[in-house]
């Protein structure tokens, strides 16, 4: 089971973990990315293109599925304007082996950070903005 969502709205990490728990496997590993930024940053803008972003997340999930025996993979990424402290993205997996769940989840998060096609601009109260590029 691979579920990929790209959305402007919030999500419920507990409910998403619950969907993976129901698969009956010994291990569910999850990660919530939150918006943390410097004091003067009031919000961030997450830019994306629906097709590019979806394809990139699908590739990431498929690669993860090939590398570890996982029963389920959920990837959620938000876009648009987000305030500090809001949820930004979610990655979680279910597996019978805790090691596979942990490694699979780490791989997802590393890929989200480096390969998910989203671009982040941090916006300050004075109207200035700065693109955050690795």
Partner 1 sequence: MAFLDLLYFGSLRETLGKDGERVDPPSHVLTIEDLVAWLGERDEPYRSAFGAPSRIGGAVEGERVGNRDSIFGAREVALFPPPGAL
Contact footprint for partner 1 (CB under 8 A): 26, 33, 44, 46-47, 49, 51-52, 55-56, 59, 77, 88-89, 98, 109, 112-121, 131-134
Structure tokens at 36: 């943390």
* 30 vs 104: CA distance, rounded Å: 10
The piece of 2-10, 31-39, 44-52, 62-70 that touches a second copy (CB under 8 A) is 31-39
Residue 28 or 53 having the CB closest to a second copy? 28
Q: In what order do the strands lie in the sheet with 80-83?
A: 80-83, 41-48, 118-124, 129-132
Measured at the CA of 133, the angle between CA 110 and CA 34, to 5 degrees, comes to: 55
Among 73, 109, 111, 116, binds a second copy (CB under 8 A): 109
**CA pseudo-torsion sign 120, 106, 73, 114:** positive
Distance CA 131, CA 94 (A): 34
Residue 19 or 119 with smaller CB distance to partner 1: 119
Q: Which residue from 7, 8, 10, 26 is in contact with a second copy, where contact means CB under 8 A?
A: 26
> What tokens were used for 119?
């671009």
Q: Which residue carries 């599925």 as its tokens?
A: 65
CB of 51 to a second copy, least distance (A): 26
Q: Which of 6, 28, 53, 75 binds a second copy (CB under 8 A)?
A: 28
Which of a second copy, partner 1, none does residue 9 bind (CB under 5 to 8 Å by kind)?
A: none
Nearer to partner 1, 40 or 99 (CB): 99
């Amino acid at each position: 089971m691979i579920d990929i969502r790209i959305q402007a709205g919030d999500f419920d990490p507990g409910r998403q973990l619950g969907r993976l728990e129901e698969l009956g496997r010994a291990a569910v590993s999850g990660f919530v990315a939150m918006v943390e930024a410097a004091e003067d940053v009031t919000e961030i803008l997450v830019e994306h293109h629906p097709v590019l972003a979806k394809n990139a997340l699908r590739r990431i999930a498929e690669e993860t599925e090939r590398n570890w025996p996982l029963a389920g993979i959920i990837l959620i990424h938000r876009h648009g304007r987000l305030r500090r402290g809001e949820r930004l993205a979610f990655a979680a997996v279910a597996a019978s082996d805790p090691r596979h769940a942990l490694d699979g989840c780490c791989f997802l998060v590393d890929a989200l950070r480096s390969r998910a096609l989203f671009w982040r601009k941090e916006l300050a109260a004075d109207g200035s903005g700065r693109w955050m590029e690795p």
